Structure 1
Amino acid sequence: MADLWSFTAAAFFLVFGVHRLVITRRAWSDSAQRYVYGFALCLGSGMLFNTPTLTRALSANTTFDNLVNLGIHDLKMVGFAFLVLVAYALKSPAAAPRAVRLHMWAAGAILAVSTALYLVADPDIAGDVLTVSSGHRWALASYNALFALYGSLCLAVLARELADHVGRTAPGLLRTGLRLMLLAAAVGAVWTLWALDDVIADLRDGSQGVAEDVVSSMLGAVTAALATGGATTTLWVGALGAPMRWLRAYRSHRALEPLWSALHSELPEIALDPSAADRRPGLRRAEFALYRRVIEIRDGHLALRPYFESGVTAWTDGREGYDGSEGTDGGDAIDWADERGRDRQAVLEAATIAAALENKRAGRLGEGTAAERSAPPGHTPPTVPGTVEAEAAWLLEVTAAFTSSPTVAAVRHRTRTTAEAHTAGARESEARMPEARMPEARMPEARNG
């Protein structure tokens, strides 16, 4: 298990480091990029050779094992030094060259002290276990403590700069990437401080494991995944962008089905492509299908204008003597608190459409003047930015109100009742019309006689 996690972490860092090296080979002026792939290559190489499998494979003799172990340790220390250089490159304004040189000298000194402590400890390596004599336990413990403290300090310096950039960056891919890298720094600090477990073992028993243990390997893999994911946010979001857009468009297309179907049943001519109107689009064509559906709903809205009711707004507000008793089974007045936070304009728009559809079915023009029907008093639909996404978002709110709003249900019921009464009255008038025309039909016969 430790091998799997260690190889995974090493692979993340090495692939990322090589990738950054390749794409920035002509951008030598970008110091941050050089420091990033320097860190990734150093840490990835160190972790690769520190896997249990390679540690056992490289075991030949004590001297060689000690050189390999020291080299792995130094690669990781150099990787930590690169992190501070990345933080300096991210500073705004950029860190002074003197500060960069001072850090490099300090990193070199810490690396030299760490190497000296390891040589003083003069450990023996047998398989996966490193042991040291009782008189040199302090040296090995100091060696591991210096590694843990220096690494966590470097990560803290980087985290401070990342947090500052997160606060000054607008929401978007860049901010998401910075947050992932900030989280990677936090997990990396825990991973680095895990080496203090070796310090306790050194002082107590004078021995420690040579390779990464399971916990350390898992923390390293998580750190590597977060760091590389944050640094390549634009790449993987770009790769997943199209499928995610298709999925969102498909879901929006499906969600608009109730409103579109209601309009299409009364106005089948709104379908731009009748052969495809009732078929669900494939995922790849969902964006185009959504665009077409938005246009068709807007066309249906325009076609219904002669049937708009000018009093819809007054009905929903409980004015003009309407208390809601016609629109509900229990006779309760319309209560906007029942709308559960729905946008009021969306409810009014849905109510206007619902009333117009009832009038259209009954063949009855809406009450009021033509100007009042085209824009019912008190209801001005919000201005929507001219994008398919914005139009769809607005129509989704209208569709939700159209299908489940008690206010819309009440307006629909009142309009249906009024339209049915109007139709019944018209039929009664037509039934009386022949009797009213009969005297006129007999007049020519009387004159001829």
Structure 2
Amino acid sequence: MVDYVKLVVGVLCLTIAVFKAKQGAANNAARFAIACFALLGLAAFAIAPSALRFIHTFEPLPNFGRWVGNSLVIAAGWCVIAILAYTVRDGERARRLVVLHGVIAGFVVLALGVLLFAGDTQFEIEFVTVYGNRPPITAYLTLFSAYCAAGLGAFVALIRRYSAAAPERALRVGLNIMMLGAFAGLLWAAWKTVVLVINRLSSSPVAAEAEVTALLSSTAAALIAIGGVVPLVVRYVRDPLRRARTARHLRALEPLWSQVHDVLPEIKLAVDDDDFSVYRRVIEIRDANLALRAYSHPEVRAWATEGAEKRGITGDQVEVLVEAAVTASALEAHAAGVRYHPDPRTAETPNAGTGDINAERDWLIRVSHAFANDATVQEIRSRVRDEVSSSAAVRPVPPT
């Protein structure tokens, strides 16, 4: 079970590192975050029991694979401290702090190697149970636990600083899960300390030491990995859905937007950003409404309202039909060069909306549908077209 959990954690951590690397590292903190997850993933693989047995077949010294795995954890802890440094310090001060802690981490790794060699051990999966009461191994485990605890403490401080301010809910959830993992890691460090003290004071090993240690360490690593992968999974699922929803909204607005854009190409905004394409369409349509106000037939509202009443249409759908008919008829008048209002400010303004861009989008989608498909709108549009093209049409008011 422990073997399986560590391998799964290793896969999760390496997956997070790959995804973050593909997204690009905008700064030093992001680069160290990628390195941290990569090191944790490799460490999880290295200290899995099956990996330790495999490495034992060719390792130069007994338990060398365990030292490699523990060294990778130390390196990951240094990356956490580097992330914190580059997050809360200025560039040069952060760099000096990172170098200092890098030197400390290097000395810790070297000291662990020396202590392991001095411990004169043989390969054992139950390493702590068998050798934990030997002074060099006690020192090895104490040093390793202390450095991990320092890294986890820095990790908790970093997450507490930024989880509340995280802009996305998925990111906040992920950070909180990672913080739970860090607390589980601190419990692991505390447990290792208790075990070491008992081993020094008692001749018999602590019962279930290996099981509790594996449970706490695996829980910590799993929660940190899961917390890291939550935002990636949400983004992976959300982004295609968001793109599909955007495409659907654009298709729904297309009948109305394409016609007003053909007549008034100047409404198209220069900004080209897929994330705001729908909102851009809304703004462009509203700009077209304002530009067409001088061409709004004064009787169209009454005609549209009357047509809606005959069809039994009630509620805000009447206003949808009115706005669609006003826009459609204004396009016909514009094409014929017929202005009904010397001063556009005297024309009736379109639906003012609520100020909520999403509500405005949904409203214009309904207007666009009526613009393209409603029989009353088409009838009024045809009526205005005949009027402005007829020799009996009212003489256009010259622009002022």
Q: Output the TM-score relative to the length of structure 2.
A: 0.54
Mapped partners of 1:40, 1:188: distance in 2: 14
Whether the 8 Å contact between 1:125 and 1:131 is mirrored in structure 2 is no
Mapped partners of 2:317, 2:35: distance in 1: 63
Whether the 8 Å contact between 1:56 and 1:128 is mirrored in structure 2 is no
> CA deviation digits over 1:327-367, x for unaligned, max 9?
xxxxxxxxxxxxxxxxxxxxxxx98999xxxxxxxxxxxxx
2:149 maps to 152
Are residues 122 and 176 of structure 1, via their aligned partners in 2, closer, same or farther at CA, if it must alter by over 3 Å?
same
> CA deviation digits over 1:271-330, x for unaligned, max 9?
xxxxxxxxxxxxxxxxx9xxxxxxxxxxxx99895699xxxxxxxxxxxxxxxxxxxxxx
Mapped partners of 1:182, 1:191: distance in 2: 14
2:82 maps to 85
1:42 maps to 39
Mapped partners of 1:102, 1:180: distance in 2: 30
Mapped partners of 1:164, 1:211: distance in 2: 30
Give the residue type in structure 1 aligned to 2:218: S
CA RMSD of the aligned region, Å? 4.8
Are residues 34 and 210 of structure 1, via their aligned partners in 2, closer, same or farther at CA, if it must alter by over 3 Å?
farther
* Helix, strand or coil at the partner of 1:194: helix
> CA deviation digits over 1:128-154, x for unaligned, max 9?
555545861x54344334333322322
**Unpaired segments ≥5 residues, structure 1:** 250-287, 289-300, 309-349, 355-380, 396-449
Instruction: State the shift of 1:384 in Å.
Output: 1.7
1:241 maps to 242
Mapped partners of 1:303, 1:140: distance in 2: 92
The answer to whether structure 1 residue 187 and structure 2 residue 181 are counterparts is yes
**Unpaired segments ≥5 residues, structure 2:** 250-277, 279-300, 309-313, 319-350, 366-400
1:9 maps to 9
Aligned length: 282
Whether the 8 Å contact between 2:159 and 2:179 is mirrored in structure 1 is no
1:365 maps to none
Mapped partners of 2:359, 2:5: distance in 1: 42
Give the residue type in structure 2 aligned to 1:163: R
Give the residue type in structure 2 aligned to 1:111: V
Q: Output the TM-score relative to the length of structure 1.
A: 0.49
Give the residue type in structure 2 aligned to 1:13: C
* Helix, strand or coil at the partner of 1:143: helix
1:431 maps to none
Are residues 200 and 244 of structure 1, via their aligned partners in 2, closer, same or farther at CA, if it must alter by over 3 Å?
farther
* Helix, strand or coil at the partner of 2:123: strand
1:76 maps to 73
Mapped partners of 1:128, 1:134: distance in 2: 10
Mapped partners of 1:141, 1:303: distance in 2: 91
> CA deviation digits over 1:183-207, x for unaligned, max 9?
3134133135324434444433458
Are residues 187 and 95 of structure 1, via their aligned partners in 2, closer, same or farther at CA, if it must alter by over 3 Å?
farther
Which of 355, 358, 368 aligns to 1:385? It is 355
Structure number with greater Rg is 1
Are residues 82 and 159 of structure 1, via their aligned partners in 2, closer, same or farther at CA, if it must alter by over 3 Å?
same
Instruction: State the shift of 1:8 in Å.
Output: 1.3
Are residues 105 and 352 of structure 1, via their aligned partners in 2, closer, same or farther at CA, if it must alter by over 3 Å?
closer
Mapped partners of 2:316, 2:17: distance in 1: 60
1:30 maps to 27
The answer to whether structure 1 residue 58 and structure 2 residue 55 are counterparts is yes
Q: Percent identity?
A: 14
Instruction: State the shift of 1:235 in Å.
Output: 4.6
Mapped partners of 1:178, 1:119: distance in 2: 44
The answer to whether structure 1 residue 124 and structure 2 residue 122 are counterparts is yes
More divergent stretch after superposition (209-218 vs 108-117): 209-218
Mapped partners of 1:59, 1:220: distance in 2: 24
1:112 maps to 110
Give the residue type in structure 1 aligned to 2:175: M
1:434 maps to none
Mapped partners of 1:194, 1:244: distance in 2: 46
Mapped partners of 1:108, 1:193: distance in 2: 25
Mapped partners of 2:211, 2:116: distance in 1: 13
Whether the 8 Å contact between 2:29 and 2:87 is mirrored in structure 1 is yes
